Amino acid sequence: MTTLSLPLNEWLPDQPALNNPGLTRAHNVIPGAGKFYRPFPGAEPYADTSLPSRPYAAISLLNNNGNARVFCASKLGLWAQQPDTRAWGDISRPGGYTTSDLEGWRFTEAYGLAIATNYSDNPQYIDTARGTKFGNLTSLVKGRYVATLRDFVLLGNTFDSFDGAVPYRVRWSAIGNPTDWNFSATTQSDFQDILGGGAVQAVIGGEEGTILLKTQIVKIVYVGSPAIFEFRTIYQNKGCAIPQSVITADGKIFFYAEDGFYQLENDRLTAIGKGKVDHWFATNSNQAAYNRMSVSIDPLNKLVIWLFASADATNLTPDTLLIYNYDTGAWSTASSPTTFLFNSLSLPITLAALDRHGSLSDVPASLDSPVWTGGRAFLAGMNDQGRVFSFSAASLPAVLETGEYQTAQQIAAVSPDPVTADRALVRSVSPKVHGPGDVSVAVAGRVTPQAMTMFAPTVPMNANGWCPQRNDSRYHRYRVSLSGGWAQVMGVEIDAVPTGRR
C-alpha cells in the first residue's frame, strides 16, 4: 500500500489547477496560522431591529463615560442602538438628510464626538455621552471622506460655497476643535489641494495620516505653523479604485487598486492578492455593485473581511465574503447571510432586560456569547432591513478542493520501487481533521488536462477514518466537505497504486 500525504496549503485560485501548490477552493473556512483551516461561523441575530433603508455605514466606540455606543447611517437618517432594547433609534437632525443616490456615509470619532458626513448635507456630529440628536458640525464645507488626524478632523474630496466641488482637496478643522472650520493661522485650520492623483478616495488618520487618491498615495505629517502639515507623495500611479474597500488594522492599511488588493505598512506597498486572488475577484465580483462593498476586521483571528456582490448576486446584493489573514497572507471565502459588515461593541445587558424575549429559546444569541458583555468587540453584520447579527452561530458547511496532480508521479517520488506507470488508482482518501463533525471526500480524475473535471459522488468517512474510492485516471484532485463540530482540517492522506504503463 502506497500512501501520499497532501497538505491543505493556501488557497490560490489564480494559479492553474494542474500542479497548483495550494487549493483551488477554500469556502466557509478561516485560514489558520499555518497549513490548516478552521470553520467560519454562521450569523445569529443580535438585535431584532430595523432601518427604513439598507445600512450605509456604522461606527462603534466607547464614550467619555466608558460606555459602548453604536451608531449607523441609512440613506436619509442617522441612528443609535438603544442599550435597553438594541433597537435602532432615530437621532437625525430635525428634517433629516438628502443623501444623493451616488453618495454614501462615513464616520469618525474625535474629542468625544461621533462625526458623520455624506457630502450631500453638512457634516454632522453628536456628543456620544450627552447628545440626543445629531446636528451640523459646520456649514462651511462638505466632504465625502472624514478622519481624525492627531488633534484635527480632516475632510477629503470637498465642496464649499467659494470653490464648489474640489475632489482632490483635503481640509481640516482648528486644532483641538472639530467644530471650528474658519481658516486661521492661529487655530491652524486650513486646506491643501493634492494635484496629479485624481480624486481623494479615502482619508486615514492617526498620529500620521494617509490620503488614498485615484492614482496616488500621499503621506501627511504634522509639522506645526506655518505649514501645519507636510504632504509627501509616497506612490505615484498607484491608488485606490474602490473607496469602500479601505480599512486599517495593526498599523496596516488595506485597499483595492485597479490591479488588485494591496497592503500599505510603514510606507511600503505590498501586492497581497497578486498571483493569488486578484484575477478571481475581478472575475467573480459584480463591478456595478462595488459601492455596496463593506469591509471589517476580525481582530481575534487577524482577519480582514470584504463583503461584496458576486457575479451571481441577485439585485446587486452583497453575498460573498473574501477573507484575508494578515498574519500569514492566506485567503479564503465564505457565504454571507448579511449584506453589510462592521465592527461592533456589545452593549451591556441585564438578565431583567432579557425578559422581553419571552423565553430562553427566543433569546437571539447564546447566554455565554461575548456579545452580551458590554464593550466587547465583535464582528457584526446587518441585512438590508437593518437587523443586526453576530458571527457566533454554528459553523457553516465548508468545502476545500486541492489542486490537480499526476498521481503516478507522486507515487514514484515516495516509492522504493521504480514506477513506470502514468496512471493510478485512488482507492481511498483519509481527511486529517480535528474535532467531531461530518466529513466526506469526493475525487475527480481525468486523463488529459483538456478533459472536463467531473467529481465522483461524495463518500463519507468510515470508522477507520477513510473515505473509500475507486478512481483510475492520470490526474486527480480532491474535494473535502465538512460540517458539524469540526475544529481544524490539515490535509488528506491518499491510498493509491500505479495502474497504467508508458
262: enclosing H helix or E strand: strand 260-265
Give the rounded distance of the alpha carbon of 97 from its chain centre.
28
Answer whether residue 377 shows pLDDT above 70. yes
pLDDT of res. 299: 84
Quickly list H helices, 355-493. Answer: 407-414
Residue 258 lies in a domain: no
Whether the pLDDT of residue 370 is over 90: the answer is no
HSE, CB side, 13 Å, CA atoms: give it for residue 149.
28
12: domain CATH number is 2.60.120
Q: What pLDDT was estimated at residue 421? A: 85
- Going through 9-112 in order, the beta strands assigned E by DSSP cover 23-27, 29-31, 37-39, 44-47, 57-62, 68-73, 78-81, 88-90, 106-110
CB 479 within 8 A of CB 30: no
**Three-class secondary structure of residue 475 per DSSP:** strand
Q: Is there a domain that residue 454 lies in?
A: yes
Place of cell 450605509: 56
Averaged over 209-225, what is the pLDDT?
Answer: 97
- Measured distance CA(276)–CA(322) in Å, rounded: 12
The CA distances from residue 250 to 151, 254, 361, in Å, are 21, 11, 38
pLDDT in tens, 467-487: 999 999 999 999 999 999 999
CA distance 74 to 97: 10
Residue 353 predicted with pLDDT over 80: no
What's the mean pLDDT in 397-417?
A: 92
371 has a pLDDT exceeding 70: no
pLDDT grade, residue 265 (50/70/90)? very high
Residue 1 has pLDDT above 90, yes or no: no
pLDDT of residue 415: 82
Give the 3-state secondary structure of residue 364.
coil
Please check whether residue 314 lies inside any domain of the structure.
Answer: no
User: Mean pLDDT, the chain, as a whole number?
Assistant: 93
The number of folded domains in the chain is 1
Please check the confidence at residue 350 and state whether its pLDDT lies above 70: no
Average pLDDT value for residue range 229-241: 97
Q: Is residue 185 part of a domain?
A: no
Q: Is the pLDDT of residue 108 over 60?
A: yes
Q: Residue 34 pLDDT more than 90?
A: no
Q: Is the pLDDT of residue 349 over 80?
A: no
Q: Decide if 73 contacts 116 (C-beta within 8 A).
A: yes
Please report, rounded to a whole number, the percentage of residues in the chain having pLDDT higher than 90: 87
Confidence of residue 369 (pLDDT cuts 50, 70, 90): low
Q: Strands across the sheet with 152-160, in order?
A: 142-149, 152-160, 164-172, 190-193
What is the rounded average pLDDT of the residues 183-190?
A: 97
Average of per-residue pLDDT across 99-120: 96
Q: What pLDDT does 2 receive?
A: 75
* Cβ contacts of 302-307, under 8 Å, gap ≥ 24: 302/33, 302/249, 302/250, 302/326, 302/327, 303/30, 304/247, 304/249, 304/254, 305/341, 305/379, 306/245, 306/256, 307/336, 307/338, 307/339, 307/340, 307/341, 307/381
Q: Is residue 236 part of a domain?
A: no
Q: Identify the band that residue 228 occupies on the pLDDT scale cut at 50, 70 and 90.
A: very high
Lookup result for grid cell 516509492: 415
Give the C-alpha distances (Å, rounded to integers) separating 152 from 109, 178, 222: 11, 7, 10
Helix%, strand%, coil% for the chain, nearest 5? 10, 50, 45
Residue 481 is assigned to a structural domain of this protein: yes
Percent residues over pLDDT 70 in the chain: 94
Residue 465 lies in a domain: yes
- Domain with 474, as residue range(s), is 2-40+397-498
- Indicate the range of 52-66, 224-238, 328-342, 346-360 predicted with least confidence: 346-360
Residue 49, pLDDT > 70, answer yes
For residue 362, the model assigns a pLDDT of: 57
What would the pLDDT profile of 78-93 be if each residue is shown by its tens digit? 999 998 889 999 999 9
Q: Supply the pLDDT for residue 373.
A: 53
Distances (CA, A) of 397 to 328, 381, 447, 482: 23, 19, 31, 6
| Cβ contact 15:401 at 8 Å | no
Residue 361 has pLDDT above 80, yes or no: no
Least confident of 243-252, 372-381, 453-462: 372-381
* Residue 451: DSSP 8-state: S
Mean pLDDT value of segment 291-306: 95
pLDDT at 59: 97
Is residue 452 assigned to a domain?
A: yes
Distance CA 78, CA 91 (A): 6
Q: pLDDT category, 347, cuts 50, 70, 90? A: confident
pLDDT at residue 400 greater than cutoff 60: yes
pLDDT confidence bin for 6, thresholds 50/70/90: very high
